[in-house]
Amino acid sequence: MTLEFSCLKTFQETYPCLFHTLYYSTIVVGAFKIFNFFKGLAAIFLDCFIYPSVNFHKYGGNTSNPTNWCVITGASDGIGKEYVFQFANRGFNLLLISRTESKLQDIQKELKLRYPRVKVQYLSIDVSTDSLQNYSKISQVTDNLPITVLVNNVGQSHSIPVPFLETEDKEINDIITINDKFTLKITKIIVPRIIETLKKNHNKSKGLILTMGSFGGLLPTPFLATYSGSKAFLQSWSNALSGELSRYNVDVELVLSYLVTSKMSKIRKSSLLIPTPKQFVASVLRSCGRRCGAQERYGTTTPYWSHALYHYLIEQTVGVYSAVANKINYQFHWSIRKRALKKRQQKKLEGEKTGNELKND
């Protein structure tokens, strides 16, 4: 340390003008970085808490007389189901797409009771099959609907964290098909309907496409490699689509989430930092079009306040592609995998024990 100070002093005495130029430049750059950091924090606070909620009338919502339609995929559970009720509350007719018909029927009945003015249709299809028949059904049902909103919510992850080389081929195919291929194909079907609806409305309203992203796509995630890659793909695709569709008056947003209580995350209890699907969707629709935690990203929002802070701090410190972030993610998901395998083994032993007892009886 003494040697370093000695060298610095020698440099100062030998090149005083250059030394002072570098010294004050460092102060200015540092002050600028600090200013930008706190400016970003202030923007998050304003986006998440202060600015008024987005009025969905600009996207064609009409609570007194719903005329425009919102298409929601993965609509029968969790976040998708919450999108259904919160868009109904904002005055949209609804086309629900999911696999389990009984759940869709129950949601349709509940919607008719709570929102009698809202029209509801549903399609029960298994999107993992990637069949032409599915896309033909979607095309036929939506052909004459005045659609202004599409919510690409359907998605699948791994059953438990798993090394890529141990991932079953079916799981890989299902994840890529559901998360990526289906999302692209339904968007290609629905977007022309949105553009046509806006033309008929003489561009009095805008179109909206919300696609669910994930921190698993934001951060390369060991032991969820296929899922992580599928969500990273959606991130780039959605951002590119946002640039293409802006001239048609269609807003395209990638919605980033971290931990939310759901079947996919396997988290049952909410907390201050982990929202319920209802809380998360409320944050999405409240701040739609604002960056929140995704201050550095185009066409992207991280709307829930704890997720927003986490996202922003990662971007401003270690970075999403750093070795540090990758190692933390590795350890986190390795720990989850160990617990999941242990739990699976315990269930197997309990099942064998029960089977042996039945045989003895």
Unique residue bearing structure tokens 């951060």: 219
Which amino acid, residue 331? Q
Kindly give, in sequence order, each residue whose CB lies less than 8 Å from that of residue 333, ignoring residues fewer than 6 positions away: 161, 221, 222, 223, 224
* CA atoms of 245 and 233, how far apart (whole Å): 18
Give the tokens for residue 42. Answer: 């202030």
Residue of 244, 247, 249, 218 whose CA lies nearest to 231: 218
Active site residue 227: yes
**Has 214 been labeled as part of a binding site?**
yes
Rg value, the chain, Cα: 25
C-beta separation of 66 from 119 below 8 A? yes
In whole angstroms, give the CA distance from residue 33 to residue 54. 31
β-bridge mates for residue 211, sequence order: 152, 254
CA dist., res. 138 & res. 98, Å (int): 12
Catalytic residue among 59, 122, 227, 312: 227
Q: DSSP secondary structure string, 226-281? A: HHHHHHHHHHHHHHHHHHHHGGGTEEEEEE-----SBTTTTB----SSS--HHHHH
Q: Which residues are catalytic?
A: 227
Q: Which residues are annotated as a binding site for substrate?
A: 214
